């Protein structure tokens, strides 16, 4: 075996608890990141995060003595070429669950075998191997609760995180890669810098992930079970999803750190982590999930695509404050509170009858934590067509949801400032407020704030009729 190895970074942009790095840390290594094009390439917000995450990883690797080589193109060609150039017989990387990534890895492995090298995959992004968790009958899980029980029990013996390596030995005469700017990950003129405010909310990179985790453990974990559904609560959620998506912190690090901290919010937080695991389990076994409904009867669902309706939802101009606040938070920060994600998604696919794939695509482009498995599984769950999905007739009423989870209007007032002067009683019922209240708040419906895009009762009835239609077709 050659003393030289390639370390291929993908969704594990960190140095701590990195099994692939640990496997080659005592050898001469060539750290590589390749920006791949193709289906489900990163969306705009995720590209912004990726730029800054790669910059941080590059600095960290350089300090340890093995600079990162950044490339763009097809790994099936680039990886074997690199292996030949540096005489590497092994390429170590994290295992992927995305269908395109799995195909790429299989073909890269075949190409490496031709030159006498091999691709060695490690678990770097998940707590479990999606293909190894099975029901008692040997089948993949399709329901979250028994899946979570199985995985939770298996994590009793979860090994501790691996340490950060010391000095690394770089390959002599390593090839020169691209500068980060050559990847065009950031908004470029004449396009406005729509990500200008992201840096006020996020610190991409391993150091940022560590700081976010520590702050959440100190300020959020204990009350997580009580505050996680309050979108206006400080530290109501961990904010770790974008760091986990690109692997700036490992789920094993998060699991052990949370368990060590303890508190009454721990179990609820762990269950949320296992939903992420379940999403990747589903994607592994149902690779069609990002494009096609997992329930076959939904292929005939009578959606009513409407570009103007979709645009109003995207821009937070629906006339329903909790929906509009969520969509504006998403646009301004690249992130949206999880409870509000469910409310906005339900409103789009049920009250507005827009295809769930259109909402999925918008989230893919605008979320800094856009994860193919979690995004697809969650949209299918809300739409009622996925594994263990919410029943289609479960239709969130955005007014009642707002009053329940944002009773004081703190969240709505932050992201819809034109509504700030409304009394709490009317903050989620703008269209029902008396004229004198609207005038006092400086609001004219249709001007400062839009009139409702749809009547909720009529939208609900239309959605239920559409569902009944496909159920009737299935029975015919």
Catalytic (active site) residue 303: yes
Q: Rounded to an integer, what is the distance from CA 328 to the centroid of its chain?
A: 18
CA dihedral 288→293→294→299, nearest 10 degrees, is -120
Does residue 190 have a cis bond before it (omega within 30 degrees)?
yes
What is the enclosing helix (H) or strand (E) of 51? helix 44-64
Contact 279, 373 (CB under 8 A): yes
The DSSP 8-state label assigned to residue 138 in this structure reads S
Of residues 107, 150, 194, 303, which has the active-site annotation? 303
Of residues 107, 272, 403, 418, which has the active-site annotation? 272
Q: Please state, in angstroms and rounded to a whole number, the distance separating the CA atoms of residues 70 and 78.
A: 11
The string over 22-61, giving b where at least 16 C-beta atoms fall within 10 Å of a residue's C-beta and e elsewhere, is bbbbebbbbbbbbbbeeebebbbbbbbbbbbbbbbbbebb
The label of the residue with tokens 């800094």 reads: 368
What is the separation, in whole angstroms, between the first and last Cα of the chain?
Answer: 63
Catalytic (active site) residue 202: no
Which residues 6+ apart lie within 8 Å of 28 measured at CB?
Answer: 3, 4, 5, 169, 170, 171, 172
Which residues 6+ apart lie within 8 Å of 342 measured at CB?
Answer: 378, 382, 396
Of residues 235, 379, 381, 415, which has the active-site annotation? 379
Contact 38, 100 (CB under 8 A): yes
Q: How is residue 393 written in tokens? A: 């007739």
Which residues 6+ apart lie within 8 Å of 9 measured at CB?
Answer: 31, 32, 33, 57, 68, 93
Integer Rg of the chain from CA: 24
Catalytic (active site) residue 331: no
The DSSP 8-state label assigned to residue 195 in this structure reads T
Catalytic (active site) residue 313: no
Of residues 107, 150, 194, 275, which has the active-site annotation? 275
Q: Please state, in angstroms and rounded to a whole number, the distance separating the CA atoms of residues 433 and 435.
A: 6
Instruction: Kindly write down the DSSP assignment for every residue of 308-319, as one continuous string.
Output: HHHHHHHTT-SS
Active site residues: 272, 275, 303, 338, 356, 379
């Amino acid at each position: 075996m050659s003393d030289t190895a390639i370390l291929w970074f993908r969704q594990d942009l960190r140095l701590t608890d990195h099994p692939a790095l640990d496997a080659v840390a005592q050898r001469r290594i060539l750290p590589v990141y390749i920006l791949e094009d193709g289906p489900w390439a990163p969306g705009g917000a995720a590209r912004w995060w990726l730029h800054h995450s790669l910059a941080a990883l590059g600095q960290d690797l350089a300090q340890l003595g093995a600079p990162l080589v950044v490339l763009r193109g097809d790994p099936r060609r680039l990886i074997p070429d690199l292996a030949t150039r540096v005489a590497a017989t092994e390429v170590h990387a994290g295992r992927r669950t995305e269908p395109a990534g799995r195909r790429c890895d299989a073909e890269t492995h075949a190409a490496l075998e031709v030159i006498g090298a091999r691709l060695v995959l490690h678990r770097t992004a998940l707590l479990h191997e999606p293909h190894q968790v099975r029901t008692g009958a040997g089948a993949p899980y399709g329901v979250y609760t028994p899946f979570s029980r199985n995985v939770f029990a298996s994590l009793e013996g979860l090994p501790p995180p691996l340490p950060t390596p010391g000095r690394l030995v770089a390959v002599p005469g390593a090839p020169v890669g691209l500068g980060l700017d050559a990847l065009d990950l950031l908004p470029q003129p004449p396009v406005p810098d729509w990500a200008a405010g992201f840096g006020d909310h996020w610190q991409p990179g391993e150091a940022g992930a560590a700081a976010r985790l520590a702050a959440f453990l100190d300020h959020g974990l204990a009350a997580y079970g009580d505050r996680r559904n309050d979108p206006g609560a400080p530290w109501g959620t961990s904010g770790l999803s974008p760091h986990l998506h690109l692997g700036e912190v490992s789920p094993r690090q998060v699991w052990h750190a949370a368990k060590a901290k303890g508190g009454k919010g721990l179990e609820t937080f762990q269950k949320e982590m296992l939903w992420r695991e379940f999403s990747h389990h589903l994607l592994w076994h149902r690779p069609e999930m990002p494009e096609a409904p997992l329930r076959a009867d939904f292929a005939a669902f009578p959606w009513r695509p409407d570009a103007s309706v979709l645009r109003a939802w995207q821009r937070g101009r629906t006339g329903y404050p909790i929906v509009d606040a969520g969509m504006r938070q998403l646009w301004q920060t690249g992130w949206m509170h999880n409870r509000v994600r469910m409310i906005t998604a339900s409103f789009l696919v049920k009250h507005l009858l827009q295809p769930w794939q259109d909402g999925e695509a918008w989230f893919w482009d605008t979320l800094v934590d856009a994860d193919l498995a979690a995004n697809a599984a969650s949209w299918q769950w809300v739409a009622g067509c996925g594994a263990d999905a919410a029943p289609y007739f479960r239709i969130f009423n955005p007014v009642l949801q707002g009053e329940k989870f944002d009773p004081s209007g703190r969240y709505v007032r932050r992201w819809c400032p034109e509504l700030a002067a409304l009394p709490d009683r009317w903050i989620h019922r703008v269209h029902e407020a008396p004229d004198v209240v609207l005038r006092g708040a400086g609001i004219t419906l249709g001007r400062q704030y839009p009139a409702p895009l749809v009547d909720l009762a009529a939208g609900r009835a239309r959605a239920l009729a559409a569902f009944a239609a496909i159920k009737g077709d299935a029975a015919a």
